[in-house]
Chains A and B, each alone.
Chain A
Amino acid sequence: EAGVTQSPTHLIKTRGQQVTLRCSPISGHTSVYWYQQALGLGLQFLLWYDEGEERNRGNFPPRFSGRQFPNYSSELNVNALELEDSALYLCASSRRYEQYFGPGTRLTVT
């Protein structure tokens, strides 16, 4: 069974630009979660999508947004990038309880 996949692996952007990160969940999983892990910090919950709907949102500004497609894949969009957005962005998927993480996208904002 294939795991959670994310693209791209690495990304370098300039402050003020916009970025889109992509995630494909494990087959059969309907929930997708997005987390931010900045260097030296813990996992911070960003967004949760299930069955195409946003179920919950973490304490992040509105310039962090996303969506889930009918095939349960998901996008995370970040507008007006700031230096502190540099982090590892992790996507996880679940059917009900356990969450399984993808390899992450490393975003560097210069």
Chain B
Amino acid sequence: QKEVEQNSGPLSVPEGAIASLNCTYSDRGSQSFFWYRQYSGKSPELIMFIYSNGDKEDGRFTAQLNKASQYVSLLIRDSQPSDSATYLCAAGVANQAGTALIFGKGTTLSVSS
């Protein structure tokens, strides 16, 4: 059974702090990793993706991947109240047709002002 595990939270951080979200995956064949943000009642929004070991930065967001440990993380610097949402981690296995994603259940982040 291919699984992606996330701590459901809630993770509470004060405004301006760094929020650290973590994810582990079971399928060593996973090649690509994605972080989605989902506000209550809305659809998921892709915010980061990473394919190679190491760090990838985009603005206030940094994704980190360690394939040996089967571990993915998302750091949000200078957290804002508008970052309060559920963050979904997904692991993907690609073939010629596309990429199948397995999603975790999500971590709820609450940023207090």
Binding site for B on A (CB under 8 A): 30-31, 33, 35, 41-43, 45, 48, 50-51, 53, 55-56, 88, 90, 94, 96-104
Taken together as a complex, chains A and B put the C-alpha atoms of A75 and B38 apart, in Å, by 24
Taken together as a complex, chains A and B put the C-alpha atoms of A45 and B98 apart, in Å, by 14
Chain B residue contacts of A88, Cβ below 8 A: 43
Chain B residue contacts of A41, Cβ below 8 A: 105
Instruction: Name B1-52 residues within 8 Å CB distance of A.
Output: 32, 34, 36, 42-46, 49, 51
Residues of chain B at interface, number, CB under 8 A: 23
- The answer to whether B43 touches A90, judged by C-beta atoms less than 8 angstroms apart, is yes
Contact among B42, B46, B104 for A98, CB-based, below 8 A: B46
Instruction: Name B60-75 residues within 8 Å CB distance of A.
Output: none
- The answer to whether A42 touches B43, judged by C-beta atoms less than 8 angstroms apart, is no
Taken together as a complex, chains A and B put the C-alpha atoms of A51 and B101 apart, in Å, by 18
Given A35-B103, A50-B97, A90-B44, 19 further pairs, Cβ under 8 A: A31-B97, A42-B88, A42-B105, A43-B44, A45-B102, A48-B97, A48-B100, A50-B98, A53-B97, A55-B97, A94-B98, A96-B94, A97-B32, A98-B34, A99-B46, A99-B101, A101-B36, A104-B42, A104-B43
